[in-house]
Amino acid sequence: MSRASYSSPSISETTLRKLKELVADAAERLYEAGMNVLPLFSNKKPAFIKGETYQMYLVKRMDREFFEGVTLARIRSMDRPWRNVTGIAVVCGMSGVVAVDYDWAKLGLPEIEQRIERLVNDFGSFVYIERRVGIDGSRYGLHAIVRVPNAMTTDFRVRPLLNLSGEFNVRNYGLINVCPTVLTVDGIISKYRRLSFVRLEHTYYDEDLSVLKRVVEILGGELNLKDFRRIETNGEVRIGGEPGKPRLGLKIGSAIRDGRLALRALKAIGEALGCEGFVAVIEGIEHGEWIVPYRILSAEYGDSLWRHPRSTWTIVENHIFRTLAEIGVSREVGKEVLDIVRELERRILESSVTVERSMKNLEKNFATAYLFKEHGHDARGACIYKLLGMCTRVDCQDTFLIKVFSNPDVVRRAVLRVIEDARRGAGSW
């Protein structure tokens, strides 16, 4: 089933047209305020179909042509498949947007409701606050949004002070659904309702983060900008097998003779393993875009003796090159992929003093991967693609390389399928 096949909310033609114009108007105002805005199907999914990509706009400013030709056009269209587009999402990080994602609001506890009421009363005149509600009166999660400096590079962490389960964090990556979005999930219609007295495009610019900290405190948490989240890995430190030796040791990749075919093989592996984020990265490369935002991470694996700082680029680069090495793709072909990635990264770093260092890191990550050494992995339960908002699979706790190493037969079949397709397409290839 494609994303476009979901049914739209059960509302009249006239009401649907009015809703779409309301959503389009909001999207226009938010875009003009400097935010990237994407259209949503009524099931909360971005309004794109298989083969299309939008992930580059998670890390760079959306051009007017794309906004009008895609976002606005799909919102306003009454034709299939865009008839079901009844909402919008703002890209967190871009234009300084950070969103407190407060799923505890779903619990409906008296203390939670009192905290939300206090937040609206104390900050609703300059902090954008909204809540998702059902037409039956049921209440769901809450978003509190402000704009801050360095949103894409600051690492926001929330330490909950209440013993409750659910999501409570500050998001500076990925998408956040905003009013006036209307959804239909499992046949239930709901909408995002603004609780504050200020619109999102006019929300407060929190230069010293004092307001954001206070918002988090009122909701029952503590904002920490220095410490990094502890990541538990069930005692599993290394996931790549014995250092210096391949884990899979597949030889079939030797039949892959060029970088483009290598990318096709990587994409096929990602699809076979069900890794949305990795597939999105490879599709971005194929479309001439490096969609991975650059962030420095620090994580604690297993015991406290083995830790290292790493960047999001290092992790994703290692996924790419380690997988090529594991399936037997030659270093020469691997370098073709390296050259493609290098060029795409340079476009992002053209005006940055970190270009030379980043390019050296890229070469190092390539060499390390082909030596089958452990370097820059994300830990179980802390998938880099979920962290960057590129994956919607809440049921999956494994990282990409854990999937690769745990499913050698799946990887083998995916690569052989790509090779066979290439042979058929090229005759005596």
- Measure the CA dihedral 116/120/122/125, to 10°: 160
Say what the pLDDT of residue 47 is: 92
What 8-state DSSP symbol labels residue 298? E
N- to C-terminal Cα separation, the chain:
34
> CA 402, CA 297: separation in Å to the nearest integer?
19
For 320-331, write each residue's pLDDT tens digit.
Answer: 999 999 999 999
Say what the pLDDT of residue 427 is: 43
pLDDT at 295 over 80: no
Measuring CA to CA, which residue among 411, 273, 290 is closest to residue 349? 290
Beta strands 221-224 and 296-300, pairing class: unpaired
Say what the pLDDT of residue 100 is: 95
Q: Where in the chain are the domains?
A: 3-224, 252-425
| Average pLDDT of the segment spanning 161-173 | 85
Query: Sorting pLDDT into bands at 50, 70 and 90, what band is 315?
Result: confident
Query: Sorting pLDDT into bands at 50, 70 and 90, what band is 230?
Result: very low
pLDDT-wise least confident of 37-46, 217-226, 280-289, 343-352? 343-352
Specify whether the CB–CB gap between 210 and 122 falls below 8 A.
Answer: no
272 versus 296: which is more confidently predicted? Answer: 272
Percent of the chain at pLDDT exceeding 70? 83
The structure tokens listed for 229 are: 């989240």
pLDDT at 309 over 80: no
Say what the pLDDT of residue 5 is: 42
Say what the pLDDT of residue 385 is: 85
364 versus 319: which is more confidently predicted? Answer: 319
Residue type, 340: I
Instruction: For the chain, give the mean pLDDT.
Output: 82
